[in-house]
Structure 1
Amino acid sequence: MLVVKMQNPTKLKKAQAEIDLVLGLERPSFESIKKLEYLRLIVVEALRLYPQPPLLIRRTLKADVLPGGYQGDRDGYAIPAGTDIFLSVYNLHRSPYFWDRPHDFEPERFQVPKESNDRQGWAGFDPSRSPGALYPNEIISDFAFLPFGGGPRKCVGDQFAFMESTVALAMLLQKFDVELKGSPEDVELVTGATIHTKNGLWCKLRRREVRCFSNEKEMIV
C-alpha cells in the first residue's frame, strides 16, 4: 500500500489534506472513518493491485457452465462436479476485461459506475447495488473485485481488515511524510498464501506539520 502511494505523490498529498480536514489532531473514530472517503478508496485500490490472498481455490459441488469471458468461448466452459478451480485474484484484478488502465493506481475508479458493455457474464460495476457500504465489495463489482473472496465463504473479517488498514494509514500519514528508500523495483514480492515483501519495505519518515482548524482559523501544529 505504501509503495503504490509513494509512487503517486499527488494522491498522497490529497489523502493527507483529507486527513487534516477530517481528523486534525484527533485520533480516528468510526464516524471519522466514514468521512475519510478518499483514504478508504486508497486502501481498496491497493488491495485491487495486491490482493490478499492472490489465489482462491474452490471445488464444484455440481456441474455448471462458466461464462467464456475475455476472448473466451462464447458458449462458455462446462465444469463437471468435483472439479477443483484455481482462481487468480491477482490476474482478475488486473484484467482489462473489467478494469480501465488496470495497472495504474487510481483510487477514483471506484467512484465511477462502469457498464458491462456486453462483456459476457459480467453485470458491470455499480455502487448502488450495495447502498451504505463503506468499501466496494463483490456485489458492487459483480465479483470482479475479490480481495477477501466473495459470497458465503468470503473472509469473515474483511470489514475489520479494511477499517484497521484505514486507521493505521490515517494515523501514519497524519503525522509523517513517507519516502521510499531505493526504487519500487527494490521491493521484491513473495507470493504464498498472501503477497508480502521479501526483505521488508524500507522507508524514510519525516514528521510533518499538521493543519487543523480551530474557531474557523487555520492552525499549523
Structure 2
Amino acid sequence: MNIPDGPKIPSWLQKLQYTLDPLRFLETAAERYGDIFNAPVTGNADTMLLVSHPAAIQQIFSSDTKQFAAPPNQLLRPLVGEYSLLVLEGDRHLQGRKLLLPPFHGDRMRAYGQSIIELADKAFAQLAPSQSFTARSLAQNISMDVILRVVFGLSEGERFYELKQRITTLMDLFKSPLIAGLLFFPNLQKDLGPRSPWGYVRHVQRQIDELLYTEIQARRQHHDPANSDILSLLLSAKDEARGGMTDAELKDELMTLLLAGHETTASAIAWTFYWVHKFPHVRERILQELATLGDAPDPTSIARLPYLTAVCQETLRICPIAVLTVPRAVKEPVELMGYSLQPGIRVFGCIYLTHHRKDLYPDSKQFRPERFLERQFSPYEFLPFGGGVRRCIGEALAWFEMKLVLATILQRYELELSDQKPERPVRGGVTLRPERGVKMVLRSRR
C-alpha cells in the first residue's frame, strides 16, 4: 500500500488549523501536494485522503456501495441523533432516502414556491427605509420559516415560535470557534451541566427534542394524509420491510431537516445578496431577465431562468457551504490516482478545491456567472451538494429557495451593501458562512 503524501505536522495540529481556517489549510496543502493528499483533519484515523480531481471523484461516486462504502457521519451524530439519514448505513440508509425523497421533488416541492415568496417578502417588509441589517440573519429567519412550514406545516402558534427560538439558539452556539471546534474533538464533548460549553449544547438539544416529540404525538392523534408538509408525508410513509417510522426515527429525521435545511440555505442566500450587490451589472441583468416573465410570474418559471440559475451556481461554486463531501471508506483493494488503497482508508472529495481548479475555472476567485452559461459542468466538477448515494436530499429545495428569495427581493426592494470590505468565508459549525454576515441597508421599496 502506498499512501499519498501530506502535511508533516501532527494530526492534532492539522485538526486545529483546519478548524480555525479551513480554506487556508486546504489551499496551502493543495499547492504543495496536488490533487490528492493525506490530511487527517476529522476523526481519529491517521489516514484521511482529500481528493480534488474530477476523475477521482467520479471513480468514488460511481463505485458507491461496490469499492467504496459511505460510513455514518460521526461528526454530526451528536447533533442529529442515531436514526438520522446522515448517520444510517447500507440498506437502512437507502430505505431512509426512499422515504424522504418524494417531498423534495415534483408537484410536492413546487407547492412550496408561493410560501417561499410570501415568507421572503414578509421578512423584508418589516424593514424601514434606510434601516441596516445583516443578510445572513434575515436569510436565516426566512429559511427557518420556510423549513418550519415545509416540514411541519407550522406558520404560527406557540410551538412554532418555541421551535424557531430553540433551533436558532442551537445554531448560534456554533458561531463560537470553541463550540464549533468540539465537533472535531469528540473526546472534549463532556456534559458538565448547562453552564459548561457542551453541557449547554445538550441542554438546548433536550429542549428541542421535547418540542419535536410533542409535535409528533399531536400529529399522530390528528393525522390528515391530505396535508402536504413533510411530517404528514412521513407519518403516512411505509417501508416494505417494517412499516412506518417510530417516534425516535421521526424525531431524528426532523432534527436533520431542521438543522441542515435552514442553516446551509441561509448562508447560500446571504452570499447571493453579497455578490449580486457587489456587482450592480449582475443585479440589473437578473432584473431584465425577470421582466421577461411579466408582472406575476409563476415560481417554477422563475426557477428556470438561465442567468438567475447561473448566479446561484456561481455563488455556490466560489463559496461552497460544505467544504468536503461525505467520506467514503475503501471496501476492497482499489487503485485511485496511481495509489493502491487498502480497505478501511477514508477518502473525501474536496468540494472547495475542486471548485477552484484552474483547469476548470480560470480566475476562480472572480465571481463570473457566465461560466455556467458558456459550458455545462459535470457532477464531478461542480458538486456543492456532494454526490453519489450521499448527495444532499434537500438539494432541489435549496436551489428553489435560493432563486425565489433572490428574485422576490430584487424585484420588490432596493438594497445596497453598507460595508464595502470583502466578505470572506469562515467556519460556522461544520459549514462555512460569511464572516460579517453581509451588512446591507434598505434604500427603498420598488
- Compute the TM-score of the two structures, normalised by the length of structure 1: 0.70
The correspondence for 2:363, drawn from 101, 105, 108, is 101
- Partner residue, 1:33: 303
152-161 or 194-203, which deviates more? 194-203
Match of 1:45 in 2: 314
* Aligned partners of 2:379 and 2:387 also within 8 Å: no
CA distance in 2, matches of 1:197, 1:152: 29
- Check if 1:111 corresponds to 2:382: no
Partner Cα separation in structure 1 for residue 438 and residue 298 of structure 2: 25
Corresponding residue for 2:258? none
Residue 178 of structure 1 deviates from its aligned partner by 2.3
Distance 2:421 2:394 in 1: 30
- Partner-residue secondary structure (3-state), 1:5: helix
Q: Partner residue of 2:283?
A: 12
Asked whether the 8 Å contact 1:95–1:102 carries over to 2, the reply is yes
From the two aligned structures, give the one with the greater helix fraction. 2
Distance between the aligned counterparts of 1:162 and 1:32, measured in 2? 11
Aligned 8 A contact 1:6 1:180 in 2? yes
Matched, 1:203 2:440: yes
Q: Summarize the alignment of residues 6-155 of structure 1 with structure 2, pairs less than 5 Å apart.
A: 6-24=277-295, 26=296, 28-34=298-304, 36-56=305-325, 57-67=327-337, 76-113=338-375, 127=376, 140-155=377-392
Question: Counting strand residues as a fraction of each chain, which structure ranks higher?
Answer: 1
3-state DSSP of counterpart to 1:22: coil
Deviation of the 1:154 alpha carbon? 0.3
Q: Structure 2 vs 1, CA of residues 101 and 189 (structure 1 numbering), >3 Å: closer, same or farther?
A: closer
Change (3 A) 1:205 1:83: same
Provide the rounded CA distance (Å) in 2 between the counterparts of 1:3 and 1:179: 9
CA contact 1:55–1:86 (8 Å) conserved in 2: yes
CA separation in 1, counterparts of 2:381 and 2:317? 10
What is the Cα deviation at residue 201 of structure 1?
A: 2.0
Cα pair distance change 1:40/1:142, threshold 3 Å: closer
Tell me the CA shift for residue 208 of structure 1: 5.3
Instruction: Give the 3-state SS of the residue equivalent to 1:31 in structure 2.
Output: helix
Q: TM-score, normalised by structure 2?
A: 0.36
Contact 1:23–1:32 at 8 Å: present in 2 too?
no
Partners of 2:424 and 2:333 lie apart in 1 by 40
Root mean square deviation, CA, Å? 2.0
Q: 1:79 to 1:183 in 2, by over 3 A?
A: farther
> Residues of 1 paired with 2:289 and 2:378: CA distance?
26
5+ unaligned residues in a row in structure 2: which ranges? 1-271
What's the offset of the Cα at 1:27? 5.3
Change (3 A) 1:80 1:194: same
SS of 1:90 mapped into structure 2: helix
- Return the match for 2:426 from 179, 190, 198: 190
Query: Residues of 2 paired with 1:21 and 1:96: CA distance?
Result: 35
Matched residues, number: 173
| SS across alignment from 2:292 | helix
- Structure 1 residue 142: deviation in Å? 4.6
Deviation at 1:110, TM superposition (A): 1.3
| Residue type of the alignment partner of 1:83 | I
Alpha-carbon offset, residue 98 of structure 1: 1.8
Distance in 2 between the 1:81 and 1:146 partners? 25
Tell me, in whole angstroms, the C-alpha distance in 2 between the residues paired with 1:28 and 1:205: 26
Q: Measure, in 1, the Cα distance between the counterparts of 2:334 and 2:374.
A: 32
Unaligned runs of 5+ in 1: 68-75, 114-126, 128-139, 210-221
**3-state SS, counterpart of residue 152 of structure 1:** helix
Tell me the CA shift for residue 3 of structure 1.
1.5
Q: After the TM superposition, list the runs of 4 or more consecutive aligned residues in structure 1 that deviate by more than 6 angstroms.
A: none
Q: Which amino acid aligns with 1:149?
A: G
SS at match of 1:104: coil
Matched, 1:162 2:399: yes
Distance 2:430 2:298 in 1: 30
**Identical residues among aligned pairs (%):** 28
Superposed CA deviations along residues 20-77 of structure 1, whole A, max 9, x for unmatched, are: 22243x254213322x22111111110001112112233222232223xxxxxxxx23
